[in-house]
Amino acid sequence: MVDLFNQEDQRTLAAIAAAREPLAQAIEVTTNALRQGGKLYYVGAGTSGRLGVLDAAECPPTFCTPPELVQGIIAGGPSALVRSSEGLEDVFEDGIAAIAERHVHPPDVVVGITAGGTTPYVKGAIHAARQRGATTLFIACVPAEQVPTEADIDIRLVVGPELLAGSTRLKAGTVTKMALNILSTGVMVGLGKVYGNRMVDVAVTNRKLRDRALRILCDLTDLDRAAAAKLLDQSGQQVKLALMMHLGQLDVDTAKTSLAQHQGQLRQALAALAAG
């Protein structure tokens, strides 16, 4: 049985590969929107909604984003995260209300997530977001000709029937999580939240994350751990700022100014400093 699940899960990789172009377009559009002050909203019901909430919740600790920048909206609200509220996904008007409640407007991006492509709550949210001028993305695991959408970018993750018929928490859920990982991480790369493959905007909020911050500093500089710890403290526990201070040989205030002038892009700030 385990082998059978494993064989079916191979389909998720092929589905992501087939959706590479709309995924890349979604990353580019969303990055530009957030640069302009927009927010990213995931909307879904059941498993799809929980995956959106999960991805949104992981952005602040991973990329030090404000909690309002990426938000997850699930039919039924927070209680639906731990207890199934299947009937609530059938109300088109509730999806409209969720978008209105958050005052969605340009340049926000709304991502509707529905494995089967038919969830009325998600369709209502997409419809309302389009009316308000927001950019809309649609993620579903059925072919476009089977269930069309009015969204601006259509991402189809076609993995085929589930081993347990109709249980989209299986490979449909897995491939959706994969797509959201790619989307949000790609956007954060575009926003300068990483340097190389290091999370230089990681929030240093506990012992584990401080250790990660110190390892990043040691890996990207010539500093030993003690010197890296001193630098991190001087930067106010901000890894990117600490790197700008050390690599640019700048004091904390000048480093802050330089990063601000380049929209938080460490590589660009360092290149401008070298050119100057």
Q: Tokens 């070298």 identify what position?
A: 274
Residue 84 CA to residue 231 CA, distance in Å, equals: 47
For residue 69, report the phi and psi dihedrals to the nearest 5 degrees. Answer: -65, -45
Instruction: Please report, in angstroms and rounded to a whole number, the separation of the first and last CA atoms in the chain.
Output: 62
Q: Say if residues 233 and 242 touch (Cβ distance below 8 Å).
A: no
State the DSSP string of 107-148. Answer: T-EEEEE-TTS--HHHHHHHHHHHHTT-EEEEEESS-TTTS-
Question: Which one is catalytic: 8, 21, 28, 58?
Answer: 58
| Catalytic residue selected from 8, 28, 86, 89 | 89
- To the query of whether residue 58 is one of the catalytic residues in this protein, the response is yes
Phi and psi at 263, nearest 5°, equal 50, 35
- Residues with a catalytic annotation lie at 58, 89
